Amino acid sequence: MLDPAGTAAAEIATLFWWMTAGSAGVWLIAVGLGLYCARGRRLPQPERFVWRLIVGGGVIVPSVLLVVLLFFGLRPLTRADAASFGAPTVTVSGEQWWWRVRYTRPDGTTVDLANELRLPVGHRTEVALASDNVLHAFWVPALAGKVDMIPGRATRLVLEPTQVGVFRGACAEYCGTSHARMDFRAEVMSAVDFDIWLAGQAADALPVDNDEARRGAELFTWHGCGACHAVRGTTAAGTIGPDLTHVGSRSSLATASMRNAPAEMAAWLAAPERTKPGVHMPGFAMVGDADLHALAAYLTALR
Amino acid sequence: MPSAVTVSRERLWLPVVAPVVWSTHFMLCYTVAALACGRFAEVLPAARVRGLLVVLTAAAVTVMVWCLHDGWNRLGSRWPRRAHDDDTPHDRQHFMAFTTVLLASLSLLATAFEAAALWAVDRCT
Amino acid sequence: MTPPASEPRATVPGEAPLAAAPPLELQRAQAARLLAAWKIPTGWRYWSAVNNTVVGLWYVVLTLVFFLFGGVLALVMRLQLAAPGNTVVSADHYNQIFTLHGSVMMFLFAIPIFEAVSIMFLPQMLGTRELPFPRLSAFGFWAFAIGGTFLCGSLFFDAAPRGGWFMYPPLTSRFQPDIGADIWLLGFSFIEVAAIAAAVELIVGVLRCRPPGMRLNLMPLYAWYVLVAAFMVLFAFPPLIVGTAMLELERAFGWPFFDPRGGGDPLLWQHLFWIFGHPEVYIIFLPSVALIAMIVPTAARRPLIGYSWVVLAAIGTGFLSFGLWVHHMFTTGLPGITLALFSAASSAVAIPTAVQFVCFFATLLAGAIARTVPMLYVVGGFATFVIGGLTGVMVAMAPFNFQAHDTYFVVAHLHTVLIGGAVFPLLAGLYYYFPLVNGRLLSDRLGRVSFWLVFVGFNATFMPMHVAGLLGMPRRVFTYPAGLGLEWWNLVSTVGAFILAAGFAVVLWDVLRPSRSKSPSPRNPWNAGTLEWLQEMPGQPWGVRTIPEIDARYPLWQQPNFVRDYDEGRFYLPDAEEGRREMLVTSTLDAVPVQCMRIPGPSFITLVAAVFVGGIFIFPTFKLYTAMAVSAVFATGTIVVWLWTGTGEIPAVPTKHVGLGVTLPLYVSGRDAVGWWAMCITMLAVFAAFLSLVFGYFFYWSLRADFLPQPSPGPGVAWPVAGAGLITLAWALTALARRWNRQNVASACCTGLLVASLLAGAGVAALIEGPSRTALDPAASVYAATVWLLVAWTGIQVVLGIVMQWYCVARRVAGRMTAQHDMDLANVVLYWHFTGVTALLTVAVVAGAPLVA
């Protein structure tokens, strides 16, 4: 959060630095005064001086400092927080322990993906937050503060990135066993690149072009992965787990725990529990290495 | 010298009237704000909310100023020149009066902080 | 020290100590009788002791054991976090460990230590013999011991709670079906009962059991702080108890208080928890600062400057701290205006906090400082606490909070204020007050070594956490990703934690090493001016040799010949002629003696009662509801026996000469009686819980337009109103019964009480009939659940009231209650006042609200 790349984060970072400077000053004065007093120079006629110390140092100075602080500290709350007109909105839902992401375009169509967020630079994107299980919190420190995702309530956040780049996101509300393994990546791109990317995500899954991937597609259906996962354009339409239509295009796997490459994918499929303790997905080590590699080839080909 | 005020006027709880008023004011303002930003947004538009908060604050401040004034009178209408450390009814009453004055002042200060914040950030989102 | 300039003091018969010392033979005989009356039992009977010094010692020791347990848990956590991807413990074990670390530290250390220290030292600080209800203190200790062991033991069965110390639903209501959450909910409820018992004891002790002449403006500051903290407990714990009951009901029976599918809201838990949780940290902080307020004047060798300002600070902080709780919920999407309100209040609380420290400085400035280990810890604690206070003001600003919330920045903040503001002062207090425990001094050298280890270790552990949080490390994570720059900061924290642990180990060694290797302490080793230092070295079990007449705030400094008069028994109650334990009850404002109170001696009944009351909480954890009911019956029985044998004793002779020409009644009933005060204070806490329930009802109502079911509204009107009417009649009849008893018409009194109990029973049945008739299913909607909970709460209160009515009948029939000696009935009538109001409010809400809506 000290390296802001969004307007909200920048405003908060400025506030933080001023508060830190002020606090350091107050601490030095307070502790200096304490040490000086602890030296115990017996003052003659202390009464008059100490009343001034108590009223001045105890009441007046803190009150003045706090009023100033409140003025600057609360100012960000007075600003309106609307999204840019015509931009797509994103709905992020917290799951145990992954992120369900749905873009809603201005024409009303939706694009489903998971564990990754991409934003156009310079635009204000409305992020609607939800959860139907436990509490989570959506947080991209470089862009803005966090907001909780509360079952039964709708919360929202507006992100306005000011720099292109890839930024870390995390879940910031304890949500169970693998709360620590629920990071994600927020990639900020130019508006043009963003539109291209979104259009690509909206399309159905690419057709597979090599034998191993084709075998992987068959295994995918054979092992019933479609019961939990969706790959648009195929028969797989499950919504319990992350949408995998373009999983190969994501910048990381298993909520930013692994690189997105065939070897890591295979390792994940074999024993997801090892990366994400408590995960609801069963392991597939029993299908054997060859099949795992085929599945991994198929999934990483889904760009 | 023994104070003119009789012992029977002293109650243990008199000094805490002002903080109790502060907490009542606080809870009522919070409730008004929460309802106005929630289910009752139509019934409580911003202007009405502000009006309600002003009325609540004025009422609270009035009572606290009364407490301050009452304590000040019982203090002999002047800042104590020496501490009330003695084992006399007078000093004990003085102590209660001074505590009343201090608590009323703190309650006023806290109410002022909160009222200013409510006035400045007058929005739901 | 020269006595302050004074005005002519009003003289009252008996105010001055005896002009001449009693003959030496008489003094020795008096001391011997006192010792015999206050003797601490030996052998296995030692565990039946109720002396505050003994119970207080057990309490302190057990609390420190839990502290060490929580500390070891923290070391395991730090080992796990020393490097990313560590596998010292599994994710699930880590989650149990961090939950227990927080829960143990907050519930089994930080709160109990203030109760323990107060039970142990408050009577001596006040110059009195005991707290007013010694058996209640013992009961509180046993409840704490049983509950705490139950909780910590769960870790060794892999059954510890793992929802965080704050246990947010829905994670803890629907997604952790194992027993851990139930252990947390029920175990801590039990301990909260002990905390409220301690609060009652301390409030009554401070307000009514001071020595004669100790007017409010002469009270030691520790007493003021403890009074404030105890009142805070009364109003902070009940919302948690209510929330805990709701969460347990949801887990056990599916009542959807926090489940949006049933109309509930997870945020209500957060509100109830933090309405408790924020004042809780001030309940921890204030009594610790109180120790500083006792140490600083001694170190400065002069009275504290700004006494009234410090009292203001204590009371002001106590009140303001109840207006901060939403700052733990800033990221939940609340309106901006709410955030601003709580930011402002959270900042305002810094002012009284600053005032008291400035008063301490002023005192030091005006005095000549003795450089002692306690002062070292005081100054170190202050330097640490200010950092925490400043980061606290930072996170109080809502916009910054959006970034810092739920990160290690907050972990750093909370430990800085808690360790700086509570642990350092406690260590100062340990070194300062140790001589009162066994007449020995702790080592100056070891104290300095431990201080520097603790100070350096603390900073090394927690300062890097500020940076880790700012770099984006969230809380409650069993590991963190590599490559974010967090590795070095975490490693330094881990090393620091072990240095900190070494510091505590040195303190532990200093305390545990054999007594003969410690230097014996002279009497009043620090030349302090306050009453606890009257104690002989080593101390005697009588509390004080004689209850002194107080004329000044620092009697050992300011009252001439005070110690000599005390030693020779020239004040009140220097003797125990009838072999009974006696103390004085005095008036609230000016400590005029009003009663000579006889208090009970050792008994095992408190342990038995704690076991059965514990059963009420522990059996439901394992879903053994029949056992729970049986335990409840036995608990009630034990408590009835306890009250029957230990309270309301009618003295053979109505008054006693307590010394200095003052004769006082031995039996008082009604508003002047400490038992009545205890009932009143307890019922304030119970009523606060009830109001939290009502708050819950209107909270849901304010959230959803469809909270009240349509078309058929709630429990109807007829049955609830009938119930209210019957209960009100019972209430009125009970009050009349007291009047009849006073008029000595025993038959009318007993008949009235029995009829009242029948009416009350019918009233409960009517209340239950209402929602039963309209088939309100509490598992189906939060509305039904809330109505049923309100009805159940009222019902339980009325049923307990019925037991009390029968108890009074039995007392009257057995001759243990008479027309003049009616404290049992006076207290029961008071209970019924609260219960009647509760019943009326319940009916107004459940029957009336649907009509209004």
A165 token code pair: 């780049």
- Cβ within 8 Å, pair B88-C335: no
Distance CA C651, CA C665 (A): 9
- Cβ within 8 Å, pair B121-C347: no
Q: Is the confidence at residue B5, as pLDDT, over 60?
A: no
Q: How many residues make up chain A in this entry?
A: 303
Backbone angles phi, psi at C415, to 5 degrees: -70, -35
Is the distance from CB of C461 to CB of C498 less than 8 angstroms?
no
**In the block, residue with structure tokens 């360790």:** C419
Query: In angstroms, what separates the C-alpha of A173 from chain B's closest C-alpha?
Result: 21
Q: Is the confidence at residue B2, as pLDDT, over 60?
A: no
Strands A136-139 and A147-149: antiparallel
Torsion of CA C169, C172, C173, C178, to 10 degrees: 180
Q: Which of A47, A53, A66 is closest, CB to CB, to C350?
A: A66
Q: Which of B89, B99, B118 is closest, CB to CB, to C341?
A: B118
ipTM above threshold 0.85: yes
A45-54, A74-83, C705-714: which is most confident: A74-83
Q: What pLDDT was estimated at residue C14?
A: 45
Q: Say yes or no: C351 contacts chain A, CB-CB below 8 A.
A: yes
Specify the pTM. Answer: 0.95
Partners of A78 on chain C (C-beta within 8 Å) are 336
Nearest-by-CA chain B residue for A47: B82
Q: Say yes or no: B124 contacts chain C, CB-CB below 8 A.
A: yes
Angle, alpha carbons B20-B25-B30 (nearest 5°): 130
Q: Render pLDDT for B76-118 as a digit per residue (tens, 0 to 9).
A: 888 877 777 788 888 888 899 999 999 999 999 999 999 999 9
Bridge partners, A125 (sequence order): A159
Question: Per CB distance under 8 Å, which residues of B are interface residues toward A?
Answer: 82, 109, 113, 116-117, 120-121, 123, 125
Strands A89-94 and A125-131: parallel
- Cβ within 8 Å, pair C479-A180: yes
Mean pLDDT of each 10-residue bin along chain C, 853 residues long? 34 60 90 93 95 95 97 97 94 96 96 95 95 95 95 93 95 95 93 91 96 94 97 96 96 95 95 97 97 94 92 96 97 94 96 94 83 92 95 96 97 97 97 94 96 97 97 96 94 98 97 91 94 90 91 93 92 92 94 94 95 95 95 96 92 92 93 94 96 95 83 79 95 95 93 96 94 89 94 96 96 93 95 97 91 77
Distance CA C252, CA C272 (A): 20
Nearest-by-CA chain B residue for A158: B125
Q: Calculate mean pLDDT across residues B14-26.
A: 95
Residue of A97, A136, B107 lying closest to C406 (CA atoms): A136
Partners of C588 on chain B (C-beta within 8 Å) are 12
Backbone angles phi, psi at C594, to 5 degrees: -125, -20
Cα C274 to its chain centre, rounded Å, is 17
Give first-to-last CA distance, chain B, whole Å. Answer: 59
Give first-to-last CA distance, chain C, whole Å. Answer: 69
Rounded to whole angstroms, what are the CA distances from B20 to A53, B65, C222? 28, 13, 23
Angle, alpha carbons C373-C378-C381 (nearest 5°): 120
Return the number of other C-beta atoms located less than 10 Å from residue A163's C-beta: 15
Nearest-by-CA chain A residue for B109: A63
In C154-265, which ranges are continuous DSSP H helix?
Answer: 171-174, 180-208, 221-253
Partners of A67 on chain B (C-beta within 8 Å) are 113, 116
Q: Give me Rg for the CA atoms of chain C.
A: 28
Which residue, among C268, C328, C332, C384, would best test binding to A if mutated, counting the most A CBs under 10 Å from its CB?
C332
Is the distance from CB of C597 to CB of C52 less than 8 angstroms?
no
Which residues 41-60 of chain B have a CB within 8 Å of chain C? none
Q: What pLDDT was estimated at residue B9?
A: 54
Partners of A61 on chain B (C-beta within 8 Å) are none
Whether the bond between B89 and the residue before it is cis, its omega within 30 degrees of 0, is no
Q: How many residues make up chain B in this entry?
A: 125
Residue of C555, C492, C552, C497 lying closest to C524 (CA atoms): C555
Query: In angstroms, what separates the C-alpha of A189 from chain C's closest C-alpha?
Result: 22
SS3 track for C290-326: HHHHHHHHHHHCCCCCCHHHHHHHHHHHHHHHHHCHH
**Which residues does C38 contact at the CB level (< 8 Å), separation at least 6?**
C51, C129, C540, C541, C542, C543, C576, C581
Rounded to whole angstroms, what are the CA distances from C769 to B19, C716, C764, C773, C778? 42, 10, 9, 6, 14
Q: What pLDDT was estimated at residue B58?
A: 97
- Cβ within 8 Å, pair C368-A42: yes
Strands ordered across the beta sheet of A165-171 = A116-120, A184-189, A165-171, A136-139, A147-149
- Cβ within 8 Å, pair C393-A174: no
C498 token code pair: 């072990």
Nearest-by-CA chain B residue for C340: B117
Burial class (CB in 10 A: 0-12, 13-18, 19+), A102: middle
Q: Say yes or no: C478 contacts chain A, CB-CB below 8 A.
A: yes
Q: Which of B82, B117, B123 is closest, CB to CB, to A70?
A: B117
Q: Helix, strand or coil for residue C688? A: helix
- DSSP single-letter state for residue C165: T
Q: What pLDDT was estimated at residue B125?
A: 77
Q: What is the count of residue pairs from B and C with beta carbons less than 8 Å apart?
A: 150
Q: Render pLDDT for B25-67 as a digit per residue (tens, 0 to 9).
A: 999 999 999 999 988 888 888 888 999 999 999 999 999 999 9
DSSP string covering C527-542, please? Answer: ---SGGGG--SS--TT
Partners of C703 on chain B (C-beta within 8 Å) are 38-39
Return the number of other C-beta atoms located less than 10 Å from residue C51's C-beta: 24
- Cβ within 8 Å, pair C365-A179: no
